[in-house]
Amino acid sequence: MHESGHALMYAVLFGLAPLQLTARVASTYVGGFTTPHPVYETADALIRQAKAALAGGIAEELVFGKSLASVGRGVDRERATSMIIDFVGRFGFDHEFQLNYMLGAEYAMDRTVAEPDIEKMIARLVAEGRAELGDHKSALLALSGALVTAGRLDSNAVTALLGEHSITTHVRTEGHLTMPSYRAALHSTTRRD
């Protein structure tokens, strides 16, 4: 269920199928969600990556309940937290915090100032992720069921299965760069001026 949550959220948010999805034994803590598609980092991309990172644990809670959710979410939450700390503290994407709280040594800022905002943002992303996975629960269950049966799914299998649930994904080779369409954004901006 955990890996299927990551894969489904990744597919919904990025329109891409993971290169590989592997069932795993929870006690190994080895990730089964393989997505070596680099993402050009923007404010939006950081949010989407954080949501995809949180989706494994959210999927477990959604299907099994909180009491049966595994601790496999630990590394995922560390990754999402790091992204959101950078979102707020390093890149200044939160309008309330414009200082760089990640400076070292003599320029170091009190990082605790931004912590409540970071906590609220992660809580919001978890709530949004829960809603998004809930909207696609039948796809989540089907993907997880197919993964348990097969043990491993490649990107073509994931794309076909999600297509049956009206979720469009694309298969891209390893190294495919996910990048915003700056040309289209520039064109639409110049048309408005």
The whole-number mean pLDDT for each consecutive block of 10 residues of the chain, a chain of 193 residues, reads 95 93 62 77 96 96 95 91 90 85 74 82 96 98 96 94 97 91 87 63
Q: What is the pLDDT of residue 193?
A: 55
pLDDT for the residue 116: 85
What is the predicted pLDDT for the residue at 130? Answer: 98
What the chain holds in terms of domains, given with CATH numbers, is: 2-192 (1.20.58.760)
Q: What is the pLDDT of residue 98?
A: 82
Structural contact between residues 63 and 103, judged by C-beta atoms closer than 8 angstroms: no
pLDDT of residue 107: 72
CA–CA dist 39, 41 (Å, integer): 6
